[in-house]
Amino acid sequence: MQAGFIGLGGMGLPMARNLLKAGHEVTVYNRTRSRADELRAAGARVAANPVEACAAGIVMTMLADDAAVEEVALKGDLPRHLGPGGIHISASTISVALAERLTKAHAEARNFLICAPVFGRPAAAEAAQLLVIAAGPAEVIERSKPLLTAIGARLEIIGSHPPAANVFKLAGNFMIGATMELLAEAFALLRKSHVDQKRFLDIMTGTLFAAPIHKIYGKLIAEEQFEPAGFKVPLGLKDMRLVLAAADRASAPMPVANIVHDHLLTALARGQQELDWSSLARVVAENAGLGPASPGGQK
């Protein structure tokens, strides 16, 4: 397929590369031109602006936040440039309110929006192992499947209303944040009680808590592997703000989300903006009077 791709950050660059590996003809655009130039050797055409990336009538965006998506898609009038029948696949984690506005804008332009946010860190994006959550008109998703399946290992279609995928993604990111919080609190208790947190992690993730999320984030927190960041603190904080905004819209109290939000905000205030969002565990440890863990997992 011919398609455009806008946004070549830590996730977007490997996603676009995987589209090329799958044989698609991809025109890429990124505000920082050097990122787009990296894909020339892989066969990508580099667009001079977002409008050029829409020429094929189907474009995927992977942008950092609401402001970036609004700038490209709404202020840049992306629906109009796609033309009637065009398809915009939004893979960004954005607010439900913005997803609703995008849906309306595409309907007015007589084309289509698919919201298809992804679960996975940059390493999963590189390996095309992302979990893709898509919502939009069934026939439009069917047309877009070659692109959606090229970036991930699993595609789940959850409905015809595009913003539903954003609610799904925010709920999932909340669960990841809450998991990091529970790991951080458990490890603080263990360290203060002079119990080996790494031994605890090995046993629990080999039995009762064998999910990948416990293993991945448990290891990062136990070993304090907060650099290089797969997902930085400001992005995690942004997502928790979106979760709380969605909860407010739905009149669904989420007290744990408030705790995760506050710990990420504290992490940012303490200068952890370049660290992985799992470094909220450092805030929890410091609140318990603990310093950095030793290699053996203790204070």
Active site residues: 169
**Cβ distance 236 to 219 under 8 Å?**
no
Bridge partners for 28 per DSSP: 5, 46
Whole-number Å distance between alpha carbons of 255 and 253: 6
Name which of 217, 194, 192 is nearest 205 in CA terms: 217
Whole-number Å distance between alpha carbons of 234 and 69: 17
